[in-house]
Amino acid sequence: MRHFLTVIDHSPEVLRHLLDEARRLKAEIARGQFAETYKNKIVGLVFEKPSLRTRVSFEAGVAQLGGTSLFQAGGEVGLGVRESLADFARTMSQFVNVIILRVFKHTTVVGVAEASKVPVVNGLSDTSHPCQAMADLQTMEECFGDLKGRTLTFIGDGNNVARSLAVACGKLGVKFILSCPPGYGFPADFAERYRKSVGGQLPPEIRDPAEAVRNTDVIYTDVWTSMGQEAEREQRLREFAAYQVNGALLKKAPKHAKVLHCLPAHRDEEITNDVIEGPASVVFQQAGNRMHAQKAILEWLLG
């Protein structure tokens, strides 16, 4: 049984295969070719959180592969509340060929996967966003070719996106730098998992964002206040004020540097409008790659 719950679970060879397949699938669509690897297959999506990119990219991708997708809001299902995770998984996996979850707690994804008879994909949890990381590296590879030896600087806290990216970068030869205020770095439990999966020390944290981007190829940012952190918003606005990705910061980076953001963006908060709309931005190319990366994952899940 294959699942795609975190990047940590998979070898560099699997990640490399997924990137190669995403590139192939994207090229096929550009030529008007549509595979039918999911013909007569059904993918079930259960989302506790709102979604634009994750839901539409999966539904469109499944359709392009010749399959059908079914969506249910998490409140209707009541994962772990209305019935146990195991009961949900054992029932749902008789109706669909793949289950995709977008949830608040990573333990929900793990609990479903443990009881499911079909592959489970983590579309987002509080600790991991593996599909996003694969689309990010696909975009980076499109911009620069070979990933090895490149540098990605994440300006923001050590959130689910940063953690998935740090692991993916470590496994594929990309230097990862985290630039954040004190107290917002990677948690200790992640550090231990990173060392066991990737090896070596945790990626460096550089407090000064100007120093962090000095030799980088990619500047990556995300919202300062994620869903579920609304009570911390005012404090985060104060503490992250010096970490805005703006024109002044972009000038500190090499001229070839590109800008990524996983979206949705709070324009003129963590990133200024002129940067996200500027020539260095590949944010919407990155968003489009979610579909291609996820199609590669879906095909891999069924062998």
pLDDT at 200: 87
Q: Is 97 helix (H, G, I), strand (E, B) or coil?
A: coil
Q: Are residues 145 and 255 in the same domain?
A: yes
Alpha helices per DSSP H over the chain: 12-30, 53-64, 74-77, 85-92, 106-115, 130-144, 160-171, 188-197, 209-212, 233-239, 247-252, 273-276, 283-301
Q: Which of 64, 126, 131, 132 is catalytic?
A: 132
pLDDT digits (tens, 9 = 90+) for 263-273: 999 999 999 99
**Residue 83 placed within a domain:** yes
Catalytic (active site) residue 129: yes
Q: Are residues 148 and 282 in the same domain?
A: yes
Q: Phi/psi at 74 (nearest 5 deg)? A: -60, -35
Domain region containing 170: 132-287
Name the band, by pLDDT with cuts 50, 70 and 90, for residue 303: confident
Q: Which of 102, 150, 163, 236 is catalytic?
A: 102
Q: Are residues 161 and 79 in the same domain?
A: no
Q: Are residues 123 and 209 in the same domain?
A: no
Q: Phi/psi at 185 (nearest 5 deg)? A: -80, -165
Q: Give the bridge partners for 99, in sequence order.
A: 44, 120
Q: Which of 53, 261, 262, 292 is catalytic?
A: 262
Q: Are residues 193 and 248 in the same domain?
A: yes
Catalytic (active site) residue 10: no
**Residue 297 placed within a domain:** no
Say yes or no to pLDDT of 226 above 90.
Answer: no
Mean pLDDT over each residue of the chain, to the nearest integer = 96
Q: Are residues 100 and 151 in the same domain?
A: no
**Residue 4 placed within a domain:** no
Dihedral, CA atoms, 61, 278, 168, 3, nearest 10 degrees? -20
% of the chain residues with pLDDT over 70? 100
- Mark which of 93, 128, 163 sits at the end of a domain: 128
CATH number at residue 107: 3.40.50.1370
Catalytic (active site) residue 214: no
Q: Which of 129, 163, 261, 292 is catalytic?
A: 129
DSSP state of 125: -
Give the DSSP H/E element, type plus range, for residue 290. helix 283-301
The region of weakest confidence among 200-204, 216-220, 237-241 is 200-204
Q: Per-residue pLDDT averaged across 41-65, rounded? A: 97
Q: Per-residue pLDDT averaged across 144-161, rounded? A: 97
DSSP state of 267: B
Catalytic (active site) residue 20: no
Q: Which of 286, 290, 292, 294 is catalytic?
A: 290
Q: Are residues 89 and 176 in the same domain?
A: no
Q: Are residues 84 and 229 in the same domain?
A: no
Catalytic (active site) residue 180: no
**Residue 23 placed within a domain:** no
Q: Are residues 208 and 114 in the same domain?
A: no
pLDDT at 229: 79
Say yes or no to pLDDT of 146 above 90.
Answer: yes
pLDDT digits (tens, 9 = 90+) for 108-143: 999 999 999 999 999 999 999 999 999 999 999 999
Catalytic (active site) residue 207: no
Nearest to 25 by CA among 134, 133, 124, 102: 134
Q: Are residues 162 and 257 in the same domain?
A: yes
Structural domains of the chain, count: 2
Q: Are residues 255 and 175 in the same domain?
A: yes
Q: Which of 222, 236, 244, 294 is catalytic?
A: 222
